Amino acid sequence: MSQENPFGPRKINMQELFLNSLGSFIAGIIGSLIIIIIMLIFGNTFNISGKIIDENLGTTTNNMFPFVLSIIGLIGTSTTMFLNYIFLRLTSPERYKKNTIITGQIAFFIVLSYIFITPLYIFAGNMSYGNIMIVFLGHTLINIFGTSIIIEVLNNYRYILTGLYGSFIGLFISIILTVMIFFYLSTGYAKLISLLFLLPLISTTTTFFKQLFELMYYKYNHFSNLDQLGDIFYQIEIQEKQDFQEAIEKDTI
């Protein structure tokens, strides 16, 4: 068994894993509650569920309706993302730092993704209001995955690959669960309600499997003393220097 390496992968235990996952779940619940509150406040104006039902019966679509839903989705997902990082800072303060640069990058990514995905909301919504729910799911998956990558890159750059691979695993599991649940439901109203539960599900699943991968890699490193994913940029630099030195030696022969 190897000694604890201060420069190795960060030690993580099951308690921290579940606390971080719980924080992501709470962040998702709060984001969903905000969406519900907005729907209730402006329910008489937008009548979201009613419009989806009417549209399924053949009523003409409203061009502004998809845009309104995209804004509601933006508010809900943004709340979840920022709260998720706040909870991570509370449960793992030695790793996730309070930094305006990181917060700014998260905000920039959220705004950038919204700018590019808004035309999809409008285009898909003008075809069918039911399509907006699919776009919302894609928007949520992109936001959670993207912010997860940004958080790991800026907080864990020495082991960026563990965060990257872990985030991909969380993304794939989230997609599988989301597709199974969403397309299992038959009615548009049931799918609309399911969106409120899928936000915390995606957030929790991504965090859980990302950190589960990090826990497994930490155990692997601890018992084998092998570290293929550690400080990858330094490894690349060393390899390039070796290749350069070998090229010089060949030229001098």
Q: Helices 160-184 and 129-155 sit at what angle, rounded to 10 degrees? A: 160
Q: Tokens at residue 35, please?
A: 């969406």
Cα separation of 213 and 220, whole Å?
Answer: 10
Q: How far apart are the first and last CA of the chain?
A: 45
Q: Give tens-digit pLDDT for 6-43.
A: 556 778 889 889 999 999 999 999 998 998 888 777 65
| In the predicted structure, residue 155 carries a pLDDT above the cut 90 | no
Share of the chain above pLDDT 70, in %: 75
CA dihedral 103, 155, 141, 116 (to 10 degrees): 50
Mean pLDDT of the chain: 80
Half-sphere exposure of 6 (CA within 13 A, CB side): 0
What is the band of 48 on the pLDDT scale with cuts at 50, 70, 90?
low
Q: Give tens-digit pLDDT for 99-154.
A: 788 889 999 999 999 999 988 888 887 777 667 778 888 888 999 999 999 998 88
Q: Tokens at residue 177, please?
A: 């669960």
Predicted model pTM? 0.79
3 state SS of 185: coil
